[in-house]
Amino acid sequence: MSESFDLVVIGAGPGGYVASIRAAQLGLRVACVERESALGGTCLRVGCIPSKALLESSERYEETRNGLKQHGVLTGDVTLDLPAMLRRKDSVVLALTKGVEGLFKKNRITRITGQARITGPKRVVVTGAKETVELDAKTILIATGSQSTPLPGVEVDNDRIGTSTEALTYPEVPGHLVVIGAGYIGLELGSVWRRLGSRVTVLEYLDRILPGMDAELAAEARKVFEKQGIEFRLKTKVTGAKVLNGRCTVRLNDDDVMDCDRVLLAVGRRPNTEGLGLETVGIQPDERGRISVDERFQTTASGIHAVGDVIAGPMLAHKAEEEGVAFAEMLVTGHGHVDYGVIPGIVYTHPEIATVGRSEEELQSAGVAYRKGVFPFMANGRARALGHTEGRVKILADATTDRVLGVHIIGPHAGDLIAEAAAAMTFGASSEDIARCCHAHPTLSEALKEAAMAVEGRAIHF
């Protein structure tokens, strides 16, 4: 069987399904191929969404046990129903995957389940459980996402030693969980199980946590997490990990050994570019498995494009979505845009950590003169009322033009607050522009305003 489409999208994650919808809105006949039974990709099925559901549930559990007394709310014995918590997480995922299915139907996108392989220019073969389908495509978009990066010597059995996928479904709270990697994923899932009762040890090869994030905020975050009970061992090389008699043994720095119940391997992600038939059209991924594209997401093969985790840039769902929309609009209208300088990054721990733009280290390395404004949440009325006063807002502005170059936040609802900063930077705002905007009182957003005022040394409430 063979069918013809204007666009065949390989992968139904944030980049692929968004590109499919936008292209269909613009009048193209679109097919989207996904090998999994559910739409939404890693982010929706076994990544961003389920992890945030568990973060929310575990935070409520911990607050009920330890944090409500200060509000005058007294509870009796609080117990954990882990199966119910996991069921809620699954229901959130199911509702959203069904939502994407509904959007495909609404936009008349042909959904094809199976493993896609490019067999030549404008040709895709999809091998499904029951049949093989050949697709003719005027244009092909690769949006196959990424997978967890392995680590030499770590014997992943997808049970006791696993990745973030397994850490979303542990059937019991581990007595001792060892997390390899102090990045976004490791800290978020480590926080979940720490709140639920695990002893959590995070091992990191570098001398800091959250590589790539503003160092000052990362250092403050480490202190907060240590206060919460997470143990960090930095400058630690993991040389091996395996399961023996139902227990995990982790080798450190070649001679030290750590025993634990479970191991979460979270040292990063790598592109899903194997098995796609790229060699049939002359596409050669780089040493990290990424596909090279130009400013219009065009690969080295005519008519074949790529977006999301398979190309350079941060492996973030919202970055992939922006690229998916831009690609579709470029394809149909000739115009599209992604501003890579203002893509936020968020760690959904407690407190949250959010960043957009350039860090102090990046500005210093580039020799850019800047001014800094900082405002702590302990001086914010809304944060006081919430009882969450840890953290701060930091704004970095060009020393000459005052244009905002970077905003970094650690504190309550930082992930929501960073949106204002991203919008301001998108429109080229100065710190004074933000400072001159009236912010409602009492709100957490006032901390952003005060940090902007602090760039000029005129913060009012600190």
Supply angle C-alpha 15, 140, 146, rounded to 5: 40
3 state SS of 96: helix
CA 351, CA 450: separation in Å to the nearest integer?
Answer: 19
Structure tokens at 138: 């005027």
Annotated catalytic residue within 176, 350, 439, 441:
441
* Type and span of the H or E element at 222: helix 215-228
Contact call for residues 391 and 410 (beta carbons, < 8 A): yes
Query: E strands of 104-166, at which residues?
Result: 110-113, 115-120, 123-127, 132-142, 146-148, 161-162
Cis before 412? omega within 30: no
Q: For the residues of 282-313, what is the DSSP string, one character each?
A: T----TTSPPP--TT-B-SSTTEEE-GGGSSS
Distance of CA 262 to CAs 155, 171, 179, 186, 193, Å? 12, 12, 9, 13, 11
Cis ω on the peptide bond leading into residue 442 (within 30° of 0)?
A: yes
Q: Using an 8 Å Cβ cutoff, are 221 and 181 in contact?
A: no
Number of residues that this document lists for the chain:
462
Rounded distance between C-alpha atoms, residue 158 and residue 237, angstroms: 22
Residue 72 exposed, middle or buried by CB count within 10 Å (0-12, 13-18, 19+) = exposed
Query: Is 350 annotated in the active site?
Result: no
Task: Return the active site residues.
Answer: 441
